[in-house]
Amino acid sequence: MVIRDLAQDKIVVTGGAGFLGRHVVAALRWRGVPEASIVVPRSAEYDLRTEAAVARLYREHAPTVVLHLAAVVGGIGANREHPGSFFRDNLLMGTLLMEHARRAGVEKFVACGTICAYPKHTPVPFREERLWDGYPEETNAPYGLAKKMLLVQAQAYRQEYGFNGVYVMPTNLYGPHDAFGPGGHVIPMLLVKFLDAVQAERDEVVAWGDGSPTREFLYVEDAAEGLVAAAERYDGAEPVNLGAGREISIKELTELIAREVGFRGRITWDTAQPNGQPRRCLDTSRAQEAFGWRATTPLEEGLRRTVAWYRAERAQGRFWGAAPPPVASRTESVAAR
């Protein structure tokens, strides 16, 4: 295995100011990459959905490595409300960034995909070879398919141009700096609901669906380590899962979060709302075999860290709690649902 010395590279991290991205930047800095060698394009300066901005990004910074994490993301509700923009914006960003990386002679392109690309009824654990066995779960199919095209593009460019693009798929992420509030992903959304209920002394919290679906949750720092490890040590054409290796039902997760924040009331399930994909849990053996990565943070420990971080931020008034930022401003963050 050839290990790339990232400290010698000029690295663009799209989405580097967002949820996952800031942890990836921290992982790069820990490896000795100079701050001046890491470029985090901000949406106010570079609209990555436009070809002129993408071309200018490569022209002005001449990166040797790109980690493409930027995405327009959200939970089930946001995906139902914005399927067209989620598809269009994610497809445009990925297509333009990889094409202009090819033109600019970028040596390594790491594309952050999503497990939303998997078919709705993929057998558990999800194995990468099952990725094309059916259509994704309907509520997030436009997002999942747009991100899946990064894999198609990377493999096609490898075949025709010898372009070194790799595709990594993190499972559902959680942790500090996520989008906390309605419209977000399940863990931060539930965390806010329960903390609001505790503060308001309410005795009921309503959760979506019936609690039966299962998910796998990966602590964001572990995901960042996986992406950087892929940049250092993976040059293959095949997609790679990043997961925690533990499946938990939404009902169990909800009860776990309630206990963690001290909520002692009742949980009511709104079965008129969608459940999403029935089950999600990944086979992560390829990541361990191909570049020596595995998750190290147990869910309970990751939740404790996340709750403590959010409580501190909320106490300082730095997080909204009741409402997420507009979707249009969230193109610098990425997470799996």
Neighbours of 289 (CB within 10 A): 10
Q: How far apart are the first and last CA of the chain?
A: 32
143, 167, 174, 234: the active-site residue: 143
pLDDT for residue 182:
65
Identify the residue whose tokens are 């300066």.
45
pLDDT for residue 181:
67
pLDDT tens figures, 37-67: 999 999 999 999 999 999 999 999 999 999 9
pLDDT for residue 331:
36
The dihedrals phi and psi of 41, each to the nearest 5 degrees, come to -70, 130
Give per-10-residue mean pLDDT for the chain (337 aa).
Answer: 94 96 97 98 96 98 98 78 93 98 98 94 94 93 96 98 98 91 80 92 93 94 98 98 94 96 95 84 96 97 95 80 36 35
Identify the residue whose tokens are 């070194």.
164
What CA–CA distance (Å, rounded) separates 220 from 41? 21
pLDDT for residue 319:
64
Structure tokens at 280: 């999600």
State how far the alpha carbon of 16 is from the alpha carbons of 20, 180, 216, in Å.
7, 18, 24
Provide the CB-side half-sphere exposure for 116 (13 A, CA).
Answer: 29
pLDDT for residue 1:
73
For each of the domains in the chain, give its residue range(s) and CATH number, in order of start. 8-177+217-245+279-297+325-329 (3.40.50.720)
Q: Where on the phi/psi map is residue 279: left (φ > 0), alpha (ψ -120 to 50), or beta?
A: beta
Cis peptide before 239 (omega within 30 of 0): no
What CA–CA distance (Å, rounded) separates 131 from 150? 13
State which amino acid sits at residue 270.
D
Question: Would you call 143 a catalytic residue per the annotation?
Answer: yes
Contacts 24+ apart (CB under 8 A), 145-149: 145/87, 145/117, 146/86, 146/87, 146/88, 146/90, 146/91, 146/94, 147/71, 147/90, 147/94, 147/113, 147/114, 147/116, 147/117, 148/113, 148/114, 148/117, 149/91, 149/94, 149/95
pTM for this entry? 0.89
In the DSSP assignment, the letter for residue 219 is E
State how far the alpha carbon of 23 is from the alpha carbons of 69, 220, 229, 295, in Å.
11, 7, 13, 15
